[in-house]
Amino acid sequence: MSTLTKYSAIPYTGPAPTNREPFVPADAAKHDTRGEELAAQLGNVAQERGQDLPTLVADKNDIVNVLTSLKTSGFTLPLDLWGVDYPNRDKRFDVMYQLYSLQNNERVRLKVRVGEDESVPTTTGVFKGYNWFEREVFDMYGVKFDGHPNLRRILTHEQFQGHPLRKDYDPAQRWLLTEQGVAKLEPKIDPRFENVDTDFERVTLNLGPSHPATHGTLRIVVTLDGETIIGAESEIGYLHRCFEKMSETHTYQQVIPFTDRLNYCSAIINNVGYCMAVEKLLGIEAPSRAQHIRLMLSEFMRLSDHIICIGTNLVDMGALTNFWYLFQPREEILGLVESCCGARLLPSYTRIGGMAVDVPSNFLENSQRLVNMLPKFIDDVEKLVMTNRIFRDRVDGVAPISAEDALSYGFTGPCLRACGIPFDIRKASPYLGYETYDWNVPVAEGGDTYARFLVRFEEMRQSLRILQQAINRGLPPGPVIVDNPYVALPPKEKVYNEMESLIYHFKMIMHGIQPPVGETYFQVEGGNGELGFYVVSDGTKNPYRVRVRPPCFPIFEAYTEMITGQTIPDAIAALGSLNIIAGELDH
Partner 1 sequence: MAIGIVKLERQTLRGAQRLYLPAVVSGMLITIRHLLKNLFNLKKLPVISYPEVKRVYSERFRGRHILTSREDGTTRCVACYMCSTACPAECITIEAGEDERTREKFPVRYEIDLLRCIFCGYCVDACPEDAIYMTRDYEMSIDTRARAVVGLRDLVVPPNFPVEPMGWRPYYGAIDKKGTAGGTGIGQPLRTAPFEDDAPPNPELFRGGPA
Partner 2 sequence: MPIQKIENSDSIIPRKAGVAPGEGAEKGLITLPGESEREVEDLAGASVLTTQLEKVVDWARGNSLWPLPFGTACCAIEFMSMVSSHYDISRFGYEVVRFSPRQSDLLIVAGTIVDKIAPVLKKIYDQMPEPKYVIAMGACATSGGFYRAYHVVQGIDEIIPVDIWVPGCPPTPDGLMYGILKLADKIKRGEIKRG
Q: Using CB under 8 A, list all residues that contact partner 2.
A: 155-157, 160, 164, 169-179, 181-182, 208-212, 216-217, 237-242, 245-246, 257-258, 261, 264-265, 308, 312, 323-324, 327-328, 330-332, 334-336, 339, 344-346, 366, 369-370, 373, 582-583
Q: Are 398 and 449 in contact (CB under 8 A)?
A: yes
323 contact choice in partner 2, partner 1, none (CB below 5 to 8 Å, kind-dependent): partner 2
Nearest distance from C-beta of residue 174 to partner 2, angstroms: 5
State phi, psi for 221 to the nearest 5 degrees: -110, 125
CA distances from 560 to 238, 333, 463, 500, 555 (A): 18, 34, 31, 59, 10
Q: Are 96 and 83 in contact (CB under 8 A)?
A: yes
28 contact choice in partner 1, partner 2, none (CB below 5 to 8 Å, kind-dependent): none
Nearest distance from C-beta of residue 380 to partner 1, angstroms: 6
Distance CA 155, CA 586 (A): 6
Task: Indicate the residue among 16 and 182 with the shorter CB distance to partner 2.
Answer: 182
Nearest distance from C-beta of residue 347 to partner 1, angstroms: 9
340 contact choice in partner 1, partner 2, none (CB below 5 to 8 Å, kind-dependent): partner 1
Task: Indicate the residue among 337 and 535 with the shorter CB distance to partner 2.
Answer: 337
Distance CA 227, CA 250 (A): 49
Nearest distance from C-beta of residue 478 to partner 1, angstroms: 5
* Residues making up the chain, counted from first to last: 587
6 contact choice in partner 1, partner 2, none (CB below 5 to 8 Å, kind-dependent): partner 1
Distance CA 193, CA 106 (A): 40
How many Å separate Cα 520 from the centre of its chain?
A: 15
Residue type, 407: L
Q: Are 243 and 158 in contact (CB under 8 A)?
A: no
455 contact choice in partner 1, partner 2, none (CB below 5 to 8 Å, kind-dependent): partner 1
Task: Indicate the residue among 126 and 455 with the shorter CB distance to partner 1.
Answer: 455
208 contact choice in partner 2, partner 1, none (CB below 5 to 8 Å, kind-dependent): partner 2
Task: Indicate the residue among 84 and 341 with the shorter CB distance to partner 1.
Answer: 341
164 contact choice in partner 2, partner 1, none (CB below 5 to 8 Å, kind-dependent): partner 2
Task: Indicate the residue among 234 and 412 with the shorter CB distance to partner 1.
Answer: 412
Angle between helices 288-316 and 320-341 (to 10 degrees): 160
Q: Are 550 and 587 in contact (CB under 8 A)?
A: yes
Residues 6+ apart with CB under 8 A from 52: 25, 27, 28, 31, 280, 520, 521
Nearest distance from C-beta of residue 413 to partner 2, angstroms: 19
210 contact choice in partner 2, partner 1, none (CB below 5 to 8 Å, kind-dependent): partner 2
Q: Are 256 and 348 in contact (CB under 8 A)?
A: yes
Strand ranges in 491-573 using DSSP code E only, listed in sequence order: 518-525, 530-537, 545-549
What sign has the CA pseudo-torsion 364, 365, 370, 373?
positive
Q: How far apart are the first and last CA of the chain?
A: 39
Distance CA 313, CA 307 (A): 10
193 contact choice in partner 1, partner 2, none (CB below 5 to 8 Å, kind-dependent): none
Nearest distance from C-beta of residue 161 to partner 2, angstroms: 10
Nearest distance from C-beta of residue 418 to partner 1, angstroms: 9
Nearest distance from C-beta of residue 560 to partner 1, angstroms: 25
Task: Indicate the residue among 263 and 564 with the shorter CB distance to partner 2.
Answer: 263
Nearest distance from C-beta of residue 334 to partner 2, angstroms: 7
454 contact choice in partner 2, partner 1, none (CB below 5 to 8 Å, kind-dependent): partner 1
Nearest distance from C-beta of residue 405 to partner 1, angstroms: 19
Nearest distance from C-beta of residue 338 to partner 1, angstroms: 6
Task: Indicate the residue among 21 and 331 with the shorter CB distance to partner 1.
Answer: 331
Task: Indicate the residue among 109 and 351 with the shorter CB distance to partner 1.
Answer: 351
388 contact choice in partner 2, partner 1, none (CB below 5 to 8 Å, kind-dependent): partner 1
Which of 514, 507, 567, 578 lies closest to 540, judged by CA? 514
Task: Indicate the residue among 10 and 510 with the shorter CB distance to partner 1.
Answer: 510
173 contact choice in partner 1, partner 2, none (CB below 5 to 8 Å, kind-dependent): partner 2
- DSSP classification of residue 32: H
Task: Indicate the residue among 26 and 172 with the shorter CB distance to partner 2.
Answer: 172
Distance CA 215, CA 20 (A): 46
Q: Are 242 and 157 in contact (CB under 8 A)?
A: no
Q: Are 502 and 390 in contact (CB under 8 A)?
A: no
176 contact choice in partner 2, partner 1, none (CB below 5 to 8 Å, kind-dependent): partner 2
Task: Indicate the residue among 236 and 284 with the shorter CB distance to partner 2.
Answer: 236
Largest alpha-carbon pair distance within the chain? 86
Strand 530-537's sheet: what is its strand order?
518-525, 530-537, 545-549
How many Å separate Cα 257 from the centre of its chain?
A: 15
Nearest distance from C-beta of residue 210 to partner 2, angstroms: 6
Residues 6+ apart with CB under 8 A from 223: 187, 189, 202, 203, 204, 205, 229, 230, 231, 232
Letter string b/e over residues 247-277, b meaning 16 or more CB atoms within 10 A of that residue's CB: bbebbbbebbbbbbbbbbbbbbbbbbbbbbb
Task: Indicate the residue among 169 and 193 with the shorter CB distance to partner 2.
Answer: 169
Task: Indicate the residue among 239 and 356 with the shorter CB distance to partner 1.
Answer: 356
Nearest distance from C-beta of residue 422 to partner 1, angstroms: 5
